[in-house]
Amino acid sequence: MTDWDAKYAAAAAGLFGEEPNEFVREIVARSDFHARSALCLADGDGRNGNWLARQGLAVLAVDLSKVATDKARERDAASGVTVERIAADLKDWAPAPGRHWDAAFIISLHCEPSVRTRAIRIAAAALAPGGWLVIEGFAKAQAVRDGTGPDDPSLLYDVTEIQGALPEFEIVEAFTGITCLDEGKRHRGEAEVVRFAARKPMEDDARN
């Protein structure tokens, strides 16, 4: 059992709350967001992938924890939605060749830099032209603040590092600053976060 399996097994309810992430909801509510399919990496016990499915998107969700994935499947069944769920380590996992999604979400993936960078690149490559990449995580400055999130800066985000990994993408939002979280007992109160949204260029744009 992984550490995350133990954490999810001990949680009586959603480990990070029952509601979807606020930034996910904000992006989906945009007038220019028309995605019909989504890839969710590090979806935990399913709050984001489940909500996206309830909005009508076809969702593939991946998480390291088998316990979390099983709980997410229970959540999906209770909601009457179908989500394709895979328990896998993002240091190894990649989608089948030829599979693409209109949007990809990476929310609160706090792990070693090599895995984080690989996940971002995997998500970017799996997007259809014009697809959305949406990322939120604690900023590096959060490591020295009291409260929530990892205290190891290497596990945290720098928005310029994300931008550097996606030079061809059209940046929609690249925010670093304080927000007030209300996502279960583990993510609650003021915290410094990175919020990043960008669109993959259309094929014609990429050739120019």
pLDDT at 183: 63
pLDDT at 206: 54
Strand arrangement of the beta sheet that strand 37-41 belongs to: 84-87, 58-63, 37-41, 101-107, 127-138, 187-199, 170-183
Domains of the chain from N-terminus onward: 3-203 (3.40.50.150)
Give the separation between CA 134 and CA 56, rounded to whole angstroms: 18
Q: Average pLDDT of the chain?
A: 90
Strands 58-63 and 84-87: parallel
Q: Could you give the CA distance from residue 157 to residue 147 in angstroms, rounded to a whole number?
A: 17
- Of the two residues 3 and 25, the one the predictor is more confident about is 25
121: confidence class by pLDDT, cuts 50, 70, 90: very high
The secondary structure element, H or E, covering residue 138 is strand 127-138
- CA atoms of 159 and 172, how far apart (whole Å): 13
Residue 13 has pLDDT above 70, yes or no: no
Tens of pLDDT, residues 20-45: 999 999 999 999 999 999 999 999 99
| Nearest alpha carbon to residue 62 among 25, 17, 27, 107 | 107
What's the pLDDT score for residue 143? 83
Give the model confidence (pLDDT) of 135-152 as tens digits.
Answer: 999 999 888 776 677 789
Percent of the chain topping pLDDT 70: 88
